[in-house]
Amino acid sequence: MTATQSRGVARIHAAFEAAQAQGRAAFIPFMTAGFPSAAAFPALADTLLERADILEVGLPYSDPLGDGPTIQRASEQALEGGTSTRRTLEAVRELRTRHDTPIVVMTYVNPIYAVGPREFMRLAQEAGVDGLILPDLPPDQDLEIADLAAEHGLAVTFLIAPTSTPARVKLVAEACTGFLYAVSVTGVTGAREATALNEVPAMLALAREHARVPVAVGFGVKDAGTAHQVAAVADGVVVGSAFINAINHGQDVAALVATIADGCQK
């Protein structure tokens, strides 16, 4: 592996290690690029980056079938505001001028295929993206994407779910180069009234048998309490819809970020 190939992977792993050294799970907030508007996104990202160990930026897509209504509406709003693949990557490039925190981009496969996988990876690399999260790409569907990402120094994260069989967990875990993303529930993204995390420990135990990378948990983490529950068993905590809901309801996002980040203490 050359230095270029390991760049994103190394930076992401370092972020997890730094958090662990402080007795925390890595805090991984998510925000849709271009939300609530293209103009307001950078300041919002700055707020998240004040406490983020890794920032997950959503590249808005018209048909995000792994997402619940909150992120879907945020994506629609961003697209209506003119956010595109190139503008999303420009926003990441701009954040790079102020922050050194690793940034991963979450996107569906169609925008990647539409631009062309090689061209997409090149653009992402140039913008300073460290990794990709691909919710509708099981790793055995397209081996080219992971190879091209590696060629461009990007880490790749695939997902496992409570329904994953041991064989699937092994396959997915071995394919991840950034971190492994364990979905806490059978369902789509979204803060839930009651988040049942009872399936998480067993899933993580299975994942750790095979993963050579840190394991983060997401879907349904909405407050300090659920973040703390997840932090007790995972290396990282992903939180998305809760922040978008806060913005939609005019709540103090910085305060929510601080509370949830504090909740990631082990």
Partner 1 sequence: MTLTLPEYPQPDARGRFGRFGGRYVPETLIPALDELETAYRAAKADPEFLEELDRLLKEFVGRPSGLYLASRLTEHAGGAKIYLKREDQNYTGAHKINNCLAQALLAKRMGKRRVIAETGAGQHGVASATAAALLGMDCVVYMGVEDIRRQELNVFRMKLLGAEVRPVTSGTSTLKDATNEAIRDWVTNVRDTFYILGSVVGPHPYPAMVRDFQSVIGEEVKVQLQAQEGRVSPDVIVACVGGGSNAIGIFAPYAYLPEEQRPRLIGTEAAGEGVETGRHAASVAGGRTGVLHGAMMYLLHDHEGQITPPHSISAGLDYPGIGPEHCLYSDTGVAEYVPVTDAQAMEGLQLLTRLEGIIPALESAHAIYHAVQLAPTLSPDQIIVVNLSGRGDKDVAEVMRLLQKAEDAAPPSERQEVRA
**Alpha carbons 201 and 160: distance in angstroms, whole number:** 13
Of the candidate residues 4, 22, 62, 251, the single one contacting partner 1 (CB under 8 A): 62
Least Cβ distance, residue 213 to partner 1 (angstroms): 16
Task: Provide the CA 17 distance to its chain's centre, in angstroms.
Answer: 17
For residue 209, the minimal CB distance to partner 1 (Å) is 17
122 binding partner 1? (CB under 8 A): no
14 vs 114 by CB, closer to partner 1: 114
- Is there binding between residue 115 and partner 1 (CB under 8 A)? yes
Distance separating alpha carbons of residues 216 and 30, to the nearest angstrom: 13
Catalytic residue chosen out of the listed positions 46, 53, 56, 76: 56
Among 51, 81, 138, 254, interactor with partner 1 by CB under 8 A: 138
Shortest distance (Å) from residue 203 CB to partner 1: 11
Task: Based on the residue annotation, tell me whether 94 is a catalytic residue of this protein.
Answer: no
- Taking the least distance from each CB to partner 1, the nearer of 14 and 65 is 65
Q: Is 187 in the site for partner 1 (CB under 8 A)?
A: yes
202 near partner 1, rule: CB under 8 A: no
Establish whether 67 is a catalytic residue: yes
Positive/negative CA dihedral, 36, 117, 164, 6: negative
Q: Give the up-direction half-sphere exposure of residue 140: CA atoms within 13 A in the CB hemisphere.
A: 9
- Cβ neighbors of 231 (< 8 A, separation 6 or more) are 24, 25, 237, 263, 264, 265, 266
Query: Which residue from 219, 235, 239, 259 is spatially nearest to 25, judged by alpha carbons?
Result: 235
- Does residue 85 bind partner 1 (CB under 8 A)? yes
Token duo for residue 254: 């910085």
Q: Does 63 bind partner 1 (CB under 8 A)?
A: yes
Q: Contacts for 13-21 with beta carbons within 8 Å, 24 or more apart?
A: 13/213, 13/214, 15/53, 15/54, 15/101, 15/102, 16/53, 16/179, 16/214, 16/235, 16/236, 18/53, 19/53, 19/235, 19/236, 19/264, 20/235
Instruction: Assess 71 for contact with partner 1 (CB under 8 A).
Output: no
Residue 257: strand pairing partners: none
Of the residues 137, 145, 200, 233, which one makes contact with partner 1 according to CB under 8 A: 137
Looking at 4, 110, 198, 251, which residue binds partner 1 (CB under 8 A)? 110
Encode 17-58 in three state secondary structure. HHHHHCCECEEEEEEECCCCCCCCHHHHHHHHHCCCCCEEEE
| Site membership for partner 1, residue 186 (CB under 8 A) | yes
Segment near partner 1 (CB under 8 A); pick from 146-154, 165-173, 203-211, 247-255: 165-173
Residues that bind partner 1 (CB under 8 A): 61-63, 65-66, 68-69, 72-73, 76, 79, 84-86, 108-115, 135-138, 141, 158-165, 168, 172, 183, 186-188
Residues serving a catalytic function are: 56, 67
